[in-house]
Chains A and B, each alone.
Chain A
Amino acid sequence: MRAPNAFATAIFLSLLAAAAPAKAQTPLTEGIQIGLSTDNVAITAGFSGADLTIFGSLENPDPLVARQGRYDVIVVLEGPPKPVVVRRKDRVLGVWVNLDSETFENVPMSYSVATTRPLQDITEPNSYKQLSLGASNLYMQPADAGDSPATIEEFTAALRERKSATGLYSENVGGVQFLSQNLFRATVRLAPNVPVGTHKARAFLFKSGLFIKESSAQLEIRKSGFEQSIFRVAHNYSFLYGIFAISLAMLTGWLGRVIFRKD
């Protein structure tokens, strides 16, 4: 299903680091930059998922730390946030019925992570929690905070599990590679059912397990051409769209009769 690099987004680099004055005495603080050459990705008729490549660079890296491989980068592509209802089925008279539910606000519809190393090797679980970083640490805000913590925890776990099962939440360990001391490339997965809207690409820099800096860029994922027109018409001119759907069906039925008639 996955078409590798169906469209790789090429890039803009910020190589300011190279121009940093060599005579500086105190070491400058490290920074991170990512840039997208395009700020929108179009989904066309043949879309069946893709890999999105994001390039970026470290600013003022310490050459010694870099050589020892103690810089880690995590890149996240976060889909637009929306409220989500999680429902649980229970048995009623032998039949499975949706009974309990929990609503969460501002849940990113998709969440693709690329990292230099496995998450547990980069930093402490606590700092992931503080940064709300990684699918399993992402903070999900329940709409009704009055529910018991155990229930909220159960439904939060289910929400994450469902999102990963449908490929919307994914983790690509080793998806970030350093190409040179300060240049890196991140590959994040776009699921076939990636939501359209404004996505946010975020890059986190860690040095020896400590969080240093974050940088972000926006990316618009939209339907293009034919699909986009259909979607827009269906929502903005729904009555005309309905009439069109009916006419198309009648025409197809009539044509089918004319072309394939057997009596």
Chain B
Amino acid sequence: MGIYLPIAEISVNVFVLLAMGAAVGFLSGMFGVGGGFLITPLLIFYNIPPAIAVATGANQVIASSVSGVLSHMKRGTLDFKLGGVLLAGGIVGSTGGIYVFAFLRRLGQLDLFISLLYVVLLGTVGGLMLVESVNALRATRSGAAPVLKKSGQHNWIHRLPLKMRFRASKLFVSVIPVLGLGAGIGFLSSIMGVGGGFIMVPALIYLLKVPTNVVIGTSLFQIIFTSAYTTLVHATTNQTVDVVLAFLLMAGGVAGAQYGAKAGQRLRGEQLRALLALLVLAVAIRLAIDLFVTPPNLYSLSALDLN
């Protein structure tokens, strides 16, 4: 069944989009990430113009994050204070990102920049996670207890000034890295159409040493607001948010997410992380191939923005 997308201005198949949303929702529910890093490249592979894929991806991330946050709120695994500080940084980063986005679009380098960012970030995060989780899997097999947080272990981040106490996370840390992390994620959110969960989750665990059970809820909580802000700014400056497209993806996504969350409970933490790492790496490799392989069309057309 075809449907005409009012903003993307093309006809697409409803069932393809619903299935795409459901599949990504399943994975995002399973791994506790928003799924933006999968949705946006998938939409681009499906011929949705990258600018619209990015803005609509940000919109879609809100739905899956709200869905996820509700279940974390019920379990009490959410640090509102930490989320709030991350968010403050996120708004600043996101605003900067929108300007860079519009600038690159004018230059004709937006698509390349999006792809490069995806390859570099997904490649790095995926690679690091894979190494870590494989080590953890090995350790469990050899009988040693998995150690994620060693108490008393501090790195340079913990020596920064302006310390703040985050009770729910059992954390006493400087606000500088928290704000910086929020800003970085906000920047990526507006350029890549991702919530940033795939960076936020490992960063909170490994850099700030936030307990793993609080990380996902808190990350999803701040992603709701960062992507809401990104959606709003894209809607007002670029008019690239397609609600029909977003709604189809969300409808599939929220259903898939709840099933995914259940499936995720049957797997152990390090197994989940290893699978997520493989998934992230697969997307990175797929995008990297596109950068290096001779494209079928060397020429591309784009409308000229008069202003």
A44-89 contacts to B (CB < 8 Å): 44-49, 82-89
Distance of A159 Cα from B304 Cα, bound (Å): 14
Within 8 Å of chain B (Cβ to Cβ): is A22? no
A84 touches B301 (CB 8 A): yes
Interface segment, B149-157, B255-263, B271-279? B255-263
Distance of A242 Cα from B227 Cα, bound (Å): 11
Q: Which of A1, A196, A239 contacts B236 (CB 8 A)?
A: A239
Which residue of the partner chain A has the closest CB to B240?
A234
Within 8 Å of chain B (Cβ to Cβ): is A23? no
Q: Which residues of A contact B239 (CB under 8 A)?
A: 234-235, 238
B182-203 contacts to A (CB < 8 Å): none
Q: Which of B3, B63, B297 contacts A256 (CB 8 A)?
A: B63
Distance of A246 Cα from B300 Cα, bound (Å): 32
B231 touches A246 (CB 8 A): yes
Within 8 Å of chain A (Cβ to Cβ): is B291? yes
Q: Mark A26-40, 1 if CB is under 8 A from B, else 0.
A: 000000000000000
Chain B nearest CB, measured from A215 CB (Å): 30
A246 touches B67 (CB 8 A): no
A94 touches B303 (CB 8 A): no
From B109, B112, B234, B243, residue with most partner A Cβ within 10 Å: B243
Interface residues on B, range: 35 or more
Q: Mark A221-263, 1 if CB is under 8 A from B, else 0.
A: 0010011101100110011011111101110111111011111
Q: Which of A98, A192, A252 contacts B108 (CB 8 A)?
A: A98
Within 8 Å of chain B (Cβ to Cβ): is A132? no
Q: Mark B70-114, 1 if CB is under 8 A from A, else 0.
A: 110000000000000000000000000000000000001101100
From B64, B66, B292, B299, residue with most partner A Cβ within 10 Å: B299
From A96, A195, A256, residue with most partner B Cβ within 10 Å: A256
Interface segment, A160-168, A181-189, A205-213? A160-168
Within 8 Å of chain A (Cβ to Cβ): is B136? no
Chain B nearest CB, measured from A17 CB (Å): 41
Within 8 Å of chain B (Cβ to Cβ): is A103? yes
Within 8 Å of chain A (Cβ to Cβ): is B173? no
Mark A residues whose CB is within 8 Å of B.
1, 43-49, 82-90, 94-98, 101, 103, 155, 158-159, 161-163, 165, 192-193, 195-196, 223, 226-228, 230-231, 234-235, 238-239, 241-246, 248-250, 252-257, 259-263
Mark B residues whose CB is within 8 Å of A.
2-4, 6-7, 9-11, 59-60, 62-67, 70-71, 108-109, 111-112, 116, 224, 228, 231-236, 239, 241, 243-244, 246-247, 250-251, 253-255, 257-259, 261-262, 265, 291-292, 294-295, 297-304, 306
8 closest pairs, A vs B, by CB? A256-B254, A253-B66, A242-B235, A249-B62, A158-B299, A242-B232, A260-B258, A253-B63
Further contacts, 4 of them, CB under 8 A, given A87-B300, A242-B233, A256-B67: A48-B2, A253-B62, A253-B64, A253-B254
17 pairs of residues in contact across A and B, judged by CB atoms under 8 Å? A1-B2, A45-B4, A46-B2, A84-B301, A86-B301, A87-B301, A193-B10, A234-B235, A238-B239, A242-B232, A242-B241, A250-B66, A253-B62, A253-B250, A256-B257, A256-B258, A259-B255
